[in-house]
Structure 1
Amino acid sequence: MNAEQKLTPPAIGEIWPVQGGIYGGIRQYPEGLCHIIFAVEDVPGRHAYGDYGVKVEAVSRTDGRANTEVLVGREGKHPAAIAAAGYTADGHADFYLPSIGELHHAWQFLPESFAIDWYYWSSSQFSAYSAYFMHFEGGWLYGLGKGVERLVRPVRRFLQ
């Protein structure tokens, strides 16, 4: 995409037509500054993080895409990551389970877009027995047992 074709995003918190969801703003990632898009809705059902008792390399607190690649590569052992990675919207199939940093970003800028009475899994592992979650009512971030079923909200990103 050249300079004349630059996309003009909507205001943070608004749906970005044809981009797959709600615009969350710009964040720094390994590949550069990216627009972040949160799915409009949760993946149906509740999902466990998975792989209880196993320490995996999904430890980034900022890069959910990298974490999700690790989790999905564990051959069906991470239902929340699999559910997020399988999500599609507006023709985009590059969604992933957000890191705890990405969920915290959503809590800061898009809290009204999430269920306040439930917990959301992040892709960031806390320990062999727990992973980080976000509770949108009070903004709590903490580790929770990987076998517990919680909500999943997919996210995607692309270079600005």
Structure 2
Amino acid sequence: MKSPLINIKNLHISVSTFLPEQLAPEVSIFVPAAPATPSSGALTPPAIGEYWVGQGGLYAGIQQGDDGQLHHKIFAAADIGRFAWGEYGTETGATSKINGVLNTTTLRDADGSFPAAEAASNYTADGHHDFVLPSIAELFHASCHIPDSFAKETYWSSSQFSANHAYHMDFEYGWLDYTVKGNERVARPVRSLLIQ
């Protein structure tokens, strides 16, 4: 008698089924993230001196505020006119040398007329309504980082020096000084984005 070619004592068979998506090659899908909020550190600024698309102006770099936190500084792309500072002979409380938001808010809430601060706070760009008249430190920051973006003019800050005088920055000679509030000087709004 001939022996069988295959001798099977125990046979175990496993069958697996695959879903169609398991057979498809691996594909990476890019899903864009939701836009960052303006106060988010996730925003990526352009190079200093370039227009920051969607943010309303020229990027002037990062500056530390009086709160110790870091802020992106964005200046309007152009001057908005010549104005008097306003209210000669009046102490206003807008005395911060660093915080243009605080100074401009103080001037807007004060009795009297403050044309440079009013014009700056009424300025809008790229849908942003949070522009202010810069403090003297913010103007100095601009003179260090984006001086060629300014005319060779004297610009008002929102920082009061005294009842009769306010600080200004001269972009022709680099002088930081003060002058009579009734004099007309150029205004250039700024906005800040907190880096978190």
Pick the TM interval, shorter chain. over 0.9
Q: Distance in 2 between matches of 1:38 and 1:123?
A: 14
Partner of 1:26: 62
Partner of 2:171: 136
Size of the aligned set, in residue pairs, is 157
1:125 pairs with 2:176:
no
Root-mean-square deviation (CA), in Å? 1.6
Partner of 2:84: 48
Q: Distance in 1 between matches of 2:118 and 2:163?
A: 19
The correspondence for 2:107, drawn from 71, 74, 87, is: 71
Change (3 A) 1:31 1:82: farther
Partner of 2:130: 94
Q: Pairwise mapping of residues 105-116 of structure 1 onto structure 2 (< 5 A)?
A: 105-116=141-152
C-alpha displacement of 1:34: 1.1
Q: Distance in 1 between matches of 2:58 and 2:134?
A: 14
Change (3 A) 1:8 1:131: same
Structure 1: any 5+ residue segments left out of the alignment?
none
The correspondence for 2:181, drawn from 146, 153, 156, is: 146
Contact 2:87 2:112 in 1 (8 A): no
Displaced runs of 4 or more, over 2 A = none
What letter matches 2:190 in structure 1? V
SS at match of 1:23: strand
Higher relative contact order (CA 8 A, sep 6+): 1
C-alpha displacement of 1:77: 1.3
What letter matches 1:33 in structure 2? L
Moved more, 95-104 or 68-77: 68-77
C-alpha displacement of 1:67: 0.4
Partner of 1:37: 74
Q: Distance in 2 between matches of 1:76 and 1:47?
A: 15
Q: Distance in 1 between matches of 2:52 and 2:123?
A: 17
Q: Pairwise mapping of residues 52-63 of structure 1 onto structure 2 (< 5 A)?
A: 52-63=88-99
Q: Distance in 1 between matches of 2:91 and 2:112?
A: 15
Change (3 A) 1:53 1:19: same
C-alpha displacement of 1:153: 0.1
Q: Distance in 2 between matches of 1:67 and 1:42?
A: 19
1:103 pairs with 2:139:
yes
Q: Distance in 2 between matches of 1:99 and 1:35?
A: 15
C-alpha displacement of 1:75: 3.9
What letter matches 2:121 in structure 1? A
Q: Distance in 2 between matches of 1:75 and 1:109?
A: 35
User: How far does the alpha carbon of each residue in 1:12-55 deviate from its partner, in whole angstroms, 9 at most, with x for none?
Assistant: 11110000000011111227211110000111x31000010011
Contact 1:76 1:82 in 2 (8 A): no
Q: Distance in 2 between matches of 1:97 and 1:80?
A: 7
